[in-house]
């Protein structure tokens, strides 16, 4: 049974040949590129089911190729499986930060390759069921530097939705506030604990989910945070606890998005920004 075309981007010719053979046995029609530069245009022209992407390429890095694919609305729904000998935690986080759907380390078994492919394709099927025009997952370390890098990337993605610059500013500000909360309160500034950000374009809205690895919190009892009844009451509490000035994050973010909601545990927040009819059509 033929499943469609796939792309293998791998500079090691023998390994590329092996990957292509395995994919052929799985029912796919593989094409091999030994450099990263032509990959994005090939994907735009051929619409493959998914891409197997090496990181160590002779021209562009796999990170750059993946980011280019995920930033282009024409290719952002193409699942990307990074296949690499780099096994470090930081390398994996970087791969996931630029939008890869799976990180497969070499050497791998046929079962592991099957699992990676199925995981990536399941992601695309779920998006197609929901009617979303695109979704990217980012995993970043609990450091403000990485949050700012992510926000610059998101600002570029938001502009593809047809939102105005003011709306983009509001949404990136909301992401910054909630991302900072996830780093400071959820992960307690433990750099190696990841914050996961999911960006999704739906037909009439943009949905951002931010999740930390912390135990969550009781939203009804936040003495260090501002509240609508008495926005300044938290300041003395923060001084007593030795916390930085602020505490208006949730309060501020509610005014920047159309909907803000937490999961039951309190360690995942969803931000929703509605698109005007014209922007949604774009």
Overall average pLDDT of the 134-149 stretch: 79
- Count the Cβ atoms, other than its own, within 10 Å of residue 91: 17
φ and ψ at residue 77, rounded to 5 degrees: -85, -5
| Model pLDDT for residues 37-68, shown as the tens digit of each residue | 999 999 999 999 999 999 999 999 999 999 88
| Model pLDDT for residues 179-225, shown as the tens digit of each residue | 988 998 788 888 888 888 888 888 888 999 999 988 876 555 555 55
Burial 99-138 (b: 16+ CB within 10 A, else e): bbbbbbeeeeeeeebeebbeebbebbeebeeeebbbbbbb
User: Does the pLDDT at position 100 exceed 70?
Assistant: yes
Return the percentage of the chain with pLDDT > 90, whole number.
39
C-alpha 135/C-alpha 122 separation (Å) is 13
pLDDT of residue 234: 47
Top-confidence residue, 13 or 71 = 13
Q: What is the mean pLDDT of the chain?
A: 83
Q: What is the pTM of this model?
A: 0.62
User: Does the pLDDT at position 19 exceed 80?
Assistant: yes
Q: Which residues, in sequence order, are CB contacts of 89 under 8 Å at separation 6+? A: 192
The answer to whether 53 and 39 are in contact (CB under 8 A) is yes
- By the 10 Å C-beta count (0-12 exposed, 13-18 middle, 19+ buried), 175 is classed as buried
pLDDT of residue 143: 85
pLDDT of residue 217: 65
C-alpha 118/C-alpha 31 separation (Å) is 19
Q: Pick from 180, 202, 209, 179: which is nearest to 270 by CA?
A: 209
| Model pLDDT for residues 253-276, shown as the tens digit of each residue | 888 999 999 988 889 999 999 987
């Amino acid at each position: 049974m033929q499943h469609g075309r796939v792309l293998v981007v791998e500079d090691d010719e023998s390994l590329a040949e092996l990957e292509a053979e395995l994919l052929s046995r799985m029912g796919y029609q593989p094409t091999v590129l030994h450099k990263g530069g032509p990959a994005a245009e090939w994907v735009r022209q051929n619409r493959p089911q998914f891409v197997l992407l090496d990181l160590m390429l002779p021209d562009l890095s796999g990170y750059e190729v993946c980011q280019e694919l995920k930033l282009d609305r024409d290719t952002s729904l193409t699942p990307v499986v990074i296949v690499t000998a780099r096994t470090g935690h930081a390398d994996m986080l970087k791969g996931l930060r630029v939008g890869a759907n799976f990180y497969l380390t070499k050497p791998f078994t046929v079962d592991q390759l099957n699992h990676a492919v199925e995981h990536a394709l399941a992601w695309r099927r779920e998006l197609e069921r929901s009617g979303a025009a695109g979704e990217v997952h980012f995993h970043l370390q609990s450091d403000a530097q990485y949050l700012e890098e992510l926000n610059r990337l998101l600002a570029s993605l938001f502009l593809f939705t047809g939102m105005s610059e003011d709306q983009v500013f509001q949404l990136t500000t909301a992401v910054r506030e909630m991302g900072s909360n996830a780093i400071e309160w959820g992960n307690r500034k433990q750099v190696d604990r990841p914050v996961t950000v999911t960006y999704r374009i739906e037909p009439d809205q943009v949905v951002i989910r931010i999740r930390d690895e912390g135990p969550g919190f009781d939203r009804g009892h936040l003495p260090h945070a501002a509240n609508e009844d008495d926005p300044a009451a938290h300041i003395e509490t923060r001084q007593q606890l030795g916390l930085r000035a602020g505490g208006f994050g949730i309060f501020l973010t509610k005014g920047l998005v159309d909907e803000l909601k937490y999961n039951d545990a309190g360690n995942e927040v969803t931000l929703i920004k509605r698109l005007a009819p014209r922007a949604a059509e774009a």
